[in-house]
Amino acid sequence: MNEDPLLDDEVRRVSRRSFLWAGLAVGGAAGVWQAIVRSPRLKGMLAPLRAVNDFNGALWQRLFREGALAPTFDKSLAGARFNGNVGLGSPLDPAAWRLRVDGLQSSDRVLTLDDIRALPRTEHTTELKCVEGWSQIVTFAGVRMLDFVTAYGPRNPVDLPPFVWMETPDGRYYVGLDTPSAIHPQTLLAYEMNGHLLEPKHGAPLRLAMPVKYGFKNIKRIGLIRFTAERPRDYWQEDGYDWYAGL
């Protein structure tokens, strides 16, 4: 979550007496996020975060900076840069594309892009940061994962499994995510980029746009979303990068 070893120690110490952190660390993570993001705002900050911030100022401020929201930018700054085509090799037929959803309810689901587009649309302009050392401001629009699990997930979000796995339709690119990050309020299942439908090289018809993680977690051309109890594999983590890959 952060790279400061001293802060890490402090976090570990504080976590023993913190219901919030304990909630994030164990299975109740999703429920905690829901409680946080649905709460009223106090002084521009979500109320539970304000409470923990008052409780342990500097530390919590760093853990949940700005209510854990990544910075947003003016649309006029948005541009595009391309990187990574693993799993995008085959020609795309948008009409034939389906999203398989697994582990959210007792039976699996197969969704069309229209099913996704029927959910509330959210747009944001954020920075895509590649571990290779560049970043690009991009405007993405689509459906928040939070709205997606609200529509298709268990009645009680506390019942969400702790991890999420996503892969391309051909299975060649895949990412593993912790559920709190996967349902972070800025995590989008995006179908538009910079005001247009996604281009194939940027992940048409549906990609992940999550500014709280490095670019490599932002999987393009999602074919399967699976909620799971076990920490899933991750394409770039297998090549030596950090599994969590948070920013």
Ligand X SMILES: Nc1nc2c(c(=O)[nH]1)N[C@H]1C(S)=C(S)[C@@H](COP(=O)(O)O)O[C@H]1N2
- CA pair distance 184, 109, nearest whole angstrom: 22
**Which of the choices ligand X, Mo ion, none does residue 86 contact, using the CB cut-off of 5 to 8 A by kind?**
ligand X
Q: Quick check: 218 binds ligand X (CB under 6 A)?
A: yes
| Interface with Mo ion (CB under 5 A), residue from 148, 165, 216, 227 | 216
Asked if 29 contacts 178 with a C-beta cutoff of 8 angstroms, the reply is yes
> What are the E-state strand segments in 81-168?
99-102, 109-111, 122-130, 134-144, 163-167
CB of 220 to Mo ion, least distance (A): 11
Q: Quick check: 128 binds ligand X (CB under 6 A)?
A: yes
The stretch among 2-10, 155-163, 218-226, 239-247 that binds ligand X (CB under 6 A) is 218-226
Q: Quick check: 211 binds Mo ion (CB under 5 A)?
A: no
Q: Quick check: 85 binds ligand X (CB under 6 A)?
A: yes
Q: With contacts defined by CB under 5 A, how many residues of the chain interact with Mo ion?
A: 3
| Interface with ligand X (CB under 6 A), residue from 41, 65, 81, 196 | 81
183: CB partners within 8 A, 6+ apart: 30, 33, 34, 145, 146, 149, 157, 160
Q: With contacts defined by CB under 6 A, how many residues of the chain interact with ligand X?
A: 19
Q: Quick check: 87 binds Mo ion (CB under 5 A)?
A: no
Q: Quick check: 86 binds ligand X (CB under 6 A)?
A: yes
Query: Restricting to residues 144-203, which ones interact with ligand X according to CB under 6 A?
Result: 168, 173, 202
CB of 214 to Mo ion, least distance (A): 7
- CA pair distance 55, 167, nearest whole angstrom: 40
Q: Quick check: 215 binds Mo ion (CB under 5 A)?
A: yes
CB of 210 to ligand X, least distance (A): 11
Please count the helices (runs of H) and the strands (runs of E) in the chain: 8, 12
Phi, psi angle pair for 29, to nearest 5°: -50, -50
Asked if 52 contacts 39 with a C-beta cutoff of 8 angstroms, the reply is no
Token readout for 71 is 């910075």
CA 190 vs. chain centroid, Å, equals 11
x/- string (CB under 6 A) for ligand X, residues 5-44?
----------------------------------------
- Quick one: DSSP state of residue 54? H
- CA pair distance 197, 160, nearest whole angstrom: 30
Q: Which residues contribute to the site for ligand X (CB under 6 A)?
A: 81-88, 128, 130, 168, 173, 202, 215-216, 218-221
Q: Which residues contribute to the site for Mo ion (CB under 5 A)?
A: 130, 215-216
